[in-house]
Chain A
Amino acid sequence: MSRFLFPRWSNLLLPTIILAAATIPVYAIFFVAYGFSPKTLEVGYQPDQPVPYSHALHAGELGIDCRYCHTSVEKAAAASVPATQTCMNCHTQIRPESPKLAKIKESYATGLPVEWSRVHKLPDFAYFDHSAHVNRGVGCVSCHGRIDKMEVVYQKSPLSMGWCLECHRNPEPNLRPTSQITNLAWDPAVELSKQEREALKTKFSIHPSQDCSTCHR
């Protein structure tokens, strides 16, 4: 009876298979956890905008308050993108002939809105309310970063569920007095002591919920 003998090199297969069986699942978990995470996929998202509008100029150099344009941020779930009319409050007077304003003026004339590209987008199944955060000590900068230094706005934070929960589990480091809400340069870690931040938590009676139904309604 001719017995089949495996070639000598096949001895290497067993350790290889065992090694693969041990490492592939670990790699797969790592790959999904980090590779598919919004931290990897979405942070830094910076779409081209139809109008070369500079937050660095308007909010930074000129010091216009965020709320001048994003009017509903303290009252509603959405911060709202300003209407063309808001631009024209100033731009009827200031540099009205600039070619960069062509699209704004066209929109102003026709009444059709400028089609801005949305940068920060939460999925429809996640409920988020700007007013609930802004009125209770979470400043713009905590989520959006230094918008006042961005020529073209990009996504600073991952906006993932884990990222939301990080703050809901430990909100103190992100609290500031409401007077400094839109002050992007103001850093609570520098300006406030630990006791003061904890006092803010009590003052705003912040008990961030972590139930599923808080955000998935």
Chain B
Amino acid sequence: MTTLSHDSNVGRITDNTVDRPGERAPLVLNMNTFGEVTATVCRVNEAGKAPFAWYVAFAAALGLLSVLGACITYLIFTGVGVWGLNNPVMWAYDITNFVFWVGIGHAGTLISAILFLFRQKWRTGINRFAEAMTIFAVICAGTFPGIHVGRVWFAYWLFPIPNQMEMWPQFRSPLLWDVFAVSTYFTVSLLFWYTGMVPDLATLRDRAKGKVQQLAYGMFALGWRGSNRHWHRYERAYLLLAALSTPLVLSVHSVVSFDFATSQLPGWHTTIFPPYFVAGAIFSGFAMVVTLAVPAREMFGLKDLITLRHLDNMNKVILVTGCMVGYAYSMEFFIAWYSGAMYEKFAFINRAFGQYWWAYWIMVSCNVITPQLFWFKKIRTSIPIMFVLSLFVNVGMWFERFVIIVTSLANDFLPSSWDKFTPTWVDIGTMVGAFGLFFTLFLLFCRFLPMIAMAEVKAVMPQADPHGAGAGKHGHH
């Protein structure tokens, strides 16, 4: 392989967000050999001590996780009455959190599957931890339907398991489809994530010094030797899993939206929901990837692998999906007027100017106005600004689900049944605590598993180009 040699054209570029005609911008900066990539990524896992910031973050995450544990334990021993739910508002923070977390999960699959099929090579720098984020987000999401059923010990009734009661879930209900959609999504995402990680686990195994690391990484590397046959099968499996998860990107949040759209409630009963939810999910997912990537690349010294170009691209996705979400918001209002249905009209006027007007306007400012700033390249490539904006989007998307669920339920057809939902401390503790679960898992992942898909990143380096050193300077293809 002559291509392993140093390529001076790629060598010291620091700004890869500039597009030069006829040339592809490099996706890996300041690295000339595959060995450097391996060393940079593995250093995170092999260091005897994690960065100080990691310990601080992990302690905070564990603290929040214990809040979640305490809130759930209190809920189980006391009952769902500890939440602020009331008669018209029977879903509030629980389902808001569920939809929020499932939505977050969508970026991982989009990056790993759809961008893979579309040969978007910049995905390689971010796909591993975006997929990890997906899995942890779905774990957080899965917690909420489990605990909101009230009698947690009967949560297995969600699944159609043969039983002496001859009782089955309602197969015509989207709530059951949801169980299938989310569990399929979790399984496929986990398989996809793990399959992609096998070669990198083998790298860690081969570099490991300690017996425990050798044994642990060795077990999960499944005997990977990097033979031609192994790579052939790996590529096949990866392609198949990508094809399998592509429809899931669209289907999972569509099914989640059916939970609302198939009901009769004004504000929920809307045909635009499936695409609107999917766009919102990708929007929030990418915002979360940016929220995580910015500190992670700083903390673990991965700035040359998760470059400004990667972040720039993600901000473009946030801009596009943010516009879609804004379009959906306005279309909901248009249809409410155009339908001539008075309940529908009321539901939307109430949403913007009713008792939860503040939630609605937080949502609009965070989700519609904020991403518009990403039209400017200066903002797309400014680390502090994009970090703050991504936080805004996360907040906005949480409020979107709150607005949809709570405003529609609180003021439905009958004014006599209207009420107001006020969260209790358990509601708030559970919501905040879920972030503890998420960040605990994510930080453990950062510490013990390869955060960047080394094998894939190497393949998009100019050095991997089989057409020789001359073609190498064009970067990836």
Residues of A near any B CB (own CB < 8 A): 3-4, 6, 11, 14, 29, 32-33, 36-39, 158, 160-163, 165-166
Contacts and interface: CB of A to CB of B under 8 A. Distances in A.
B164 A38 contact: yes
A128 B215 CA distance: 60
Contact of A161 (B162, B167, B214, B222): B167
A33 B163 contact: yes
B206 A160 contact: no
B172 interface: no
Contacts of A165: 165-167
Contacts of A33: 161-164
Contacts of B119: none
Contacts of A39: 164
A160 B211 contact: no
Nearest to B156: A32
A37 B164 contact: yes
B164 A162 contact: yes
Contacts of B215: 4
A33 B162 CA distance: 6
Contact of B165 (A3, A4, A161): A161
A165 B166 CA distance: 7
Interface of A is mostly: helix
B201 to A, nearest CB: 14
A160 B167 CA distance: 11
A38 B163 CA distance: 11
Given A4-B211, A4-B214, A33-B161, A14 B166 contact: no
Nearest to A28: B161
A163 B165 CA distance: 7
B218 interface: yes
A133 to B, nearest CB: 19
B214 A36 contact: no
26 contacts: A3-B206, A4-B211, A4-B214, A4-B218, A6-B218, A6-B223, A11-B223, A32-B163, A33-B161, A33-B162, A33-B164, A37-B164, A39-B164, A158-B164, A160-B164, A161-B165, A161-B166, A161-B167, A162-B163, A162-B165, A162-B166, A162-B167, A163-B164, A165-B165, A165-B166, A166-B166
Interface in B18-54: none
Contacts of B162: 29, 33
Nearest to A4: B214
A14 B221 CA distance: 12
A3 B205 CA distance: 9
The 3 closest A-B pairs by CB, nearest first: A162-B166, A161-B165, A4-B214
Interface of B: 161-167, 205-206, 208, 211, 214-215, 218, 222-223
Contacts of A11: 223
Contacts of A161: 164-167
Contacts of B211: 4
B154 to A, nearest CB: 13
Contacts of B205: 4
Contacts of B218: 4, 6
Contacts of A4: 205, 208, 211, 214-215, 218
A163 B161 CA distance: 17
A49 to B, nearest CB: 28
A195 B129 CA distance: 68
A71 B87 CA distance: 44
Nearest to B209: A1
B161 to A, nearest CB: 6
A70 to B, nearest CB: 27
A11 B218 CA distance: 12
Contacts of A163: 164
Contact of A160 (B161, B165, B222, B223): B165
Given A4-B211, A33-B163, A165-B167, 16 more contacts: A4-B214, A4-B215, A4-B218, A6-B218, A32-B163, A37-B164, A38-B164, A39-B164, A160-B164, A161-B164, A161-B165, A161-B166, A162-B166, A162-B167, A165-B165, A166-B166
Contacts of B214: 3-4
Contacts of B161: 29, 32-33
Nearest to B162: A33
A39 B163 CA distance: 11
A155 to B, nearest CB: 15
Given A3-B206, A4-B211, A36 B164 contact: yes
Nearest to B217: A4
Nearest to B164: A37
A166 B167 CA distance: 11
A165 B167 CA distance: 9
A116 B20 CA distance: 94
Contacts of B223: 6, 11
Contacts of A38: 164
B153 to A, nearest CB: 13
A39 B165 CA distance: 11
A166 B166 CA distance: 8
A14 B222 contact: yes
Nearest to A3: B206
A29 B162 CA distance: 7
Which of B164, B165, B214, B218 has most A Cβ within 10 Å?
A: B164
